[in-house]
Amino acid sequence: KEMVQQTPMETLMRRSIHPRPLTGLLLLGTALALAACASNDDPDLPTLSAATPGTLQSCTDLATKATSANTTIASSTLVAAGALTVTGVTTPMPEHCLVKGEMNRRTSAVDGKSYAIGFEMRLPTAWNGRYFYQANGGIDGSVVTATGPTSGGAPVSNALQMGFAVLSSDAGHSGPPWWGLDPQARLDYGYQAVGSLTPMAKNLIKVAYGKAPDRSYFGGCSNGGRHAMIAAARYSDQYDGILAGAPGFHLPKAATAQLWKVQQYASIASGTVTTGADAGQPDITTAVTPAEFKLLGERIVAKCDALDAATDGIVADIKACQGAFNIKTDVATCSGARDGTCLTDAQKTVLGNIFAGAKNSKGESTYSNFYYDPGVAGSNYAAWHYGNSTALDPGAVAFIFTTPPSTQAAFLATTGLKYGLAFNMDTDYPKIFATDAVYKESPWSYMTPPNETDLSALKNRGAKLLVYHGAADPIFSAADTTRWYDALQAANNGAATAFARYFMVPGMNHCSGGPATDQFDMLTNLVNWVEKAQAPDQVVAKVRGTGANVVNTELPSSWSATRSRPLCAYPTVARYKGSGDLENAANFSCQ
């Protein structure tokens, strides 16, 4: 049997660049959830018809039968039911056809290296008539097993198991981020690989089943969420339902903000690195210890827990908490040694700066603020601020988000920590918006939706967009996503809920984890909205306590192992009804 781990997306970015320990998991997940559904908000918008099933008619001969321009199918093999297993998913994967190939093979005129868009598709024998584009995370660079995760942490099902035909790709490159030297590789990663793969995949499906997909879906988390937001703007004519998790749709800004955080933490580091190439440099992991992050989370709970009418360790009213909590006055100030029961004035200043968002020397904002949320105590939080900020972001910024990019020699002559400490928000940050004679489209242009609040094409054809985001995401700010949704509402006269809905997940870190009900299934809700006009007002989410398919070890011991909560369509908040078991979602309503 082939055993597939649900691959942490950060691992796709590592590629041996200034190795440092990485502990944060970035999982695309699926899970248990059902929505309380309402009718479509706007009866004038079309409702798309439901997909109809089909049966695989062709597999091992697809290399010769399914021809598309600039495409080579290397293999097409039938995989027996149960031969593919996925961590945490107990239901066997069905019999399916595995197709592997590549598109647009070329040699770069800039760096002389060979490039292609690698892909795989998994086509179930018993097909539900739907196609799912699996948008992957990190900086892509690897053809992850095409199972089609549906969202949240520790999946219990996936699109393949549900009967979707699923595509996964490497977005046109592999290896360390030096591929950012090639202008076309940048564009493929940004958005053009999706444009190339989509018609190829639909043609392959048509040949394999004798008909094209009735409905097409697109989904991913993190960079996959960024891909989804771009698909909503650029490829809305090709996809009927789009699922964007923790969308890094302002990724170049978020990556530079990570380097700014390195500098902030370095300013209060209590120790130095003692070995290796960074010896003598500030050890940023000493700036705020795990015990101190835990203290901060506890003080946020103490101040904000009851704002949603339930004292349960979950801060559901995230926005109200931002006005209620004050790090200067609500956390004890150290009068002596740091012992995990207090924060120093310097720590409070730095943490206050980080939550307020990155700025240049003039005090101008360069990226969003972040929410105060109990999830700051999650290990994923510190992993992104300490490990990934020096192991992943320097390479991405230097080669993919800067014009012109760094040279490989110059980059390898330093370290990720030193690169972050030297990054200049006044002179280096503007390079994410730059172009030149070789790199004619700026990183900001190819990495972001062209007009993120104009989704009229998606809306008018009856397609739908679901967005979810952990309130304690340490890399892509949920506050940034909230501002986008507010702007989308304004651009649509307050009626964006007819085609786009946004769900915040209290306590959740980046895509999963933290003290949160992080197990839920957004894909089923999206299909029901697209094909049945059942707009989700809430999605029921569960914790991953003892007995779960994959246990979340960061859950408070006072929580039930089966706690559930409704995730509410923004701006509504899950509030306790006043009676009944606090561990049961049925006793909460979205208000």
Q: Which residues are catalytic?
A: 222, 473, 510
Close Cβ partners of 329 (under 8 Å, ≥ 6 residues apart):
none
Strand, coil or helix: what is 234? helix
Tell me which DSSP letter residue 453 carries: T
Listing DSSP states for 152-202 in one string gives SSS-S--HHHHT-EEEEE-TT--SSGGGGGSHHHHHIIIIIHHHHHHHHHH
- Output phi, psi for 178, to 5 deg: -60, -20
Under DSSP, is residue 293 helix (H, G, I), strand (E, B) or coil?
Answer: helix
Q: Which residues contact 151 (CB under 8 A, 6 or more apart)?
A: 28, 29, 30, 31, 219, 221, 243, 245, 468, 520, 521, 522, 523
Q: How far apart are CA 317 and CA 304, in angstroms?
A: 8
Measured distance CA(490)–CA(131) in Å, rounded: 32
Nearest-10 Cα torsion for 146, 147, 153, 154: -120
Provide the phi-psi class of 222: left if phi over 0, else alpha when psi is between -120 and 50, else beta: left
Paired sense of beta strands 130-134 and 215-221, if any: parallel
Cα–Cα distance, 343 to 334 (Å, whole number): 5
Instruction: Please give the structure tokens belonging to residue 435.
Output: 């172009």
Q: Residue 117: helix, strand or coil by DSSP? A: strand
Beta carbons of 103 and 119 less than 8 angstroms apart: yes
Give the CA dihedral 250, 255, 257, 258, nearest 10 degrees.
140
Going by C-beta distance under 8 Å and a sequence separation of 6 or more, which residues neighbour residue 67? none
Do the beta carbons of residue 506 and residue 411 sit within 8 Å?
Answer: no
